[in-house]
Structure 1
């Protein structure tokens, strides 16, 4: 019988449901802020996405693997995937697209690769990319923030004629920090994203090697690729506004810390973060924002086995070499 090895492979006294529960807690401020900014429809979208992701994950897994599913599918990972996916959607997305994204994520991204802990790609980001490709016209515009708290019509109709393009450059820095501009549901309010990241770090749930390497690389290379003069006020402002409004902090906090699709080894994680940051910096002003957020991470997901192997092999070779030197010295 073939033995499958499941991720996460983190050696810790904390069990997996506890770790995912803390991620849900860290996401809760993002949900609250988004609800305040875009209205109660956000709660409906997040709830539907999380519920369908959990139920769909369980039943599709049961079809594929039968009773084996019972011990694998109550770790809350599917709920986290559903929430993150929903928070990467525009506020006026229809429920139909939410359902489609969850179905594609559960069936194509997760179950095809073996189910919980075996998926090669980040499920939430892959689902978001798929719906962008399949429904490009329905995901182009953004609802105005602080506009209509009790509006539910877009849950069934999709974007209205009032949908606007995202243009954070027209706002003040405090408005950017508070998410008072048109963007994706969960990526706008940078303050609550940082609060969630700090919470996860201090609870010991995630490691910050990949996120920090990712963000630092974007800051360092974006001016190079875009020809931005960082010695000028305008250049500094451009970089700062991009970092705060593009959604890269959300990706760093909730995608580059994913247990299944992020390297465990410290050095592998740093290299992984640098690669993601490099691709992101290159794509920053050339592609739609959702592609800039999702594509680099999904590309780098493919490099994880190679990175882990190379780093592990190098470390093993170094230990063997040191051991040989020590033994040789004793013989002398």
Structure 2
């Protein structure tokens, strides 16, 4: 058994205080806090099997709720899942950051990415707008490939497996460099192509491009976390959230829609007919993209709260990752710094 599992308390029953309003859950960080003081109380951590089940849920909240209620395992946890709010909005369900517990969970982030249409690599080769953007940022296919992201993820895993601090830091810094370069390329590709507004780039493909940026950002943030410098870690998280909002946000979705409409009119009758036939789905996709972007940015911002967890637990960063990895099975766990296993609920009642 993982030695860090003792920090986890099963939370399959109703969490005391949530329904009464004494406690609340920050939706972006799965952080339970006191409604009266705002102080950290516990972290909600989904078990690995549960996280995998959640990653397979439909992306529409109503359909996701139906799946949850039809599954005895998930239905039992529905009050907790609603409190975590990872299944109650399309922004949460569709975000690749949905199951990044704290700044941990890179394998699940990649799994979430794999659910997208995976059209980006094909369009990078075939779409003139994207080809020109790649040339303008002086990028290349290898640096923009998922294989590179997975390679960086392998370095991240090795850093966690390392037995000496020096090796752990070296591997984390190697992973950071790979993620950082790919993240920067995706950001520049976005700035040069402006895919929300391009008729020849489907909205879902634009969301995939954004999601690759986010995956690289989460990998970089986790590498910084393992390396252990609080300032660098905090900067990586806040910068990623800021770049996402500033450059990839859909602040005025109607403008993106109008530019697509204008491009269809300029392209001729066939393009206009196709645009009109897909108008409803385009509007829905743009609305989803706006929700996903803001939800993801909030999640990235809240990764900085992991520093508070470390202070409460008085452990090294890689130990927090070991604790989260010890959360096995199809349940939800509570991670609290001061209470031995079996006493969490009593501690809550005595608050």
Check whether TM > 0.5.
no
TM-score, with length taken from structure 2? 0.30
- Whose RCO is larger (CA < 8 A, sep 6+)? 2
TM-score, with length taken from structure 1? 0.31
